[in-house]
Structure 1
Amino acid sequence: MGAAYFYHLTRNPLEKTLATLVEKALSAGWRVEVRGRADAQLRALDVALWQREGFLPHGMAGGPHDADQPVLLTTGAGGNSASCLMCIQGADVTSDEIAAADRVCILFDGHDPEALQQARGQWKSLTDAGATAQYWSEETGKWQMKAQHPKPE
């Protein structure tokens, strides 16, 4: 059974944090789906990931080789049999998807009030539905877990 990890971005940009998390997921042997809400933003992310230092194999959904992609950027449910789902831009995820995945990461911009509200709403609806969740913050410069559901006994 998986868990949702909420990442509150306040220091590093999405591209950097996402790349770090994707590299960790790939090293764990997982296929990754990066789910966003807008094709234009995913295309910009695609370009940023190709231009960064170091190779991060990935592709945009809609191509003939989606099933072979270790990392697939998509606005819908991916077609690469991912066991790790990374939601950006407030993309929707269900408690059933969390339960079926090895890991779900929800990344949100801590400087965007709308993104904060969206993440709070997701936390509430997912934990109310019984999903296990952790909230991580980088406010001190290092990632620290600030909350989890259910709380440890």
Structure 2
Amino acid sequence: MGDVYFYHLTERPIEATLPVLLDKAMGAGWRIALRGRDAARLEALDRQLWMGEGFLPHGVAGGPHDADQPILLTTGAVPDDAQCLMTLDGAEVTPEEALRLTRTCILFNGADEGAVEAARAQWRSLTGGGLKAKYWAEEDGRWTMKAESG
């Protein structure tokens, strides 16, 4: 059964935080699905990941080599062999889906009240579905765990 980590972004944008989290997940040896709600947003992240300082091998779902991608950007289903799902912009994740993964990471913008409310609803849904969750917030450039479900 996987854990769910909520990342409340208050100091750095997703574009700065995401490469760090993806790199850590790859370092754990996980295949990662990055789920968003908007294909255009994922295309922009695709360009940013290719042009960033570190190399993060990835692809956008729908290509001929989806099964070979260590990081797959998608608006849809998580590949069967993925161990980690990262969501952004309020992309949905069900308890059943998260239960089969090693880790689910939900990134949300702390300056957007709608995003905060969506994350709270996801916390209730996922912990209500039997998953353990941790809530992390940025403080002075560091991540601090602020809450943990029972």
State the aligned residue count: 150
Q: Is the 8 A contact 1:7 1:106 kept in 2?
A: yes
* Alignment-derived partner of residue 49 in structure 1: 49
Letter in 1 for 2:123: W
Correspondence for 2:9: 9
2:126 counterpart of 1:129: no
Q: Indicate the larger mover: 95-104 or 30-39.
A: 95-104
Question: Take 2:117 and 2:79, find their aligned partners in 1: how far apart are those partners?
Answer: 29
1:64-84 per-position Cα deviation (integer Å, ceiling 9, x unaligned): 100000000000113372100
Identity fraction in percent: 58
User: Take 1:69 and 1:78, find their aligned partners in 2: how far apart are those partners?
Assistant: 12
CA distance in 2, matches of 1:21, 1:81: 19
5+ long unaligned stretches in structure 2: none
> Partner of 1:143: helix, strand, or coil?
strand
Equivalence for 1:61: 61
Deviation digits for residues 119-148 of structure 1 (CA, Å, limit 9, x no counterpart): 011111111221110000003321010001
Gaps of 5+ in 1: none
**Partner SS state of residue 11, structure 1:** coil
* 1:1-150 correspondence runs (5 A): 1-79=1-79, 81-150=81-150
Q: Which residue identity is paired with 2:85?
A: L
With structure 2 as the length reference, what TM-score do the two structures score?
A: 0.96
Amino acid at match of 1:34: L
| TM-score (normalised: structure 1) | 0.94
CA contact (8 A) 1:59 1:73 kept: yes
The Cα of 1:87 is off from its aligned counterpart by 0.7
1:2–1:77 Cα change, 3 Å = same
User: Which amino acid is the alignment partner of residue 39 of structure 2?
Assistant: D
Q: Distance in 2 between matches of 1:110 and 1:47?
A: 24
Alpha-carbon spacing, 1:127–1:118, altered in 2? closer, same or farther (3 Å): same
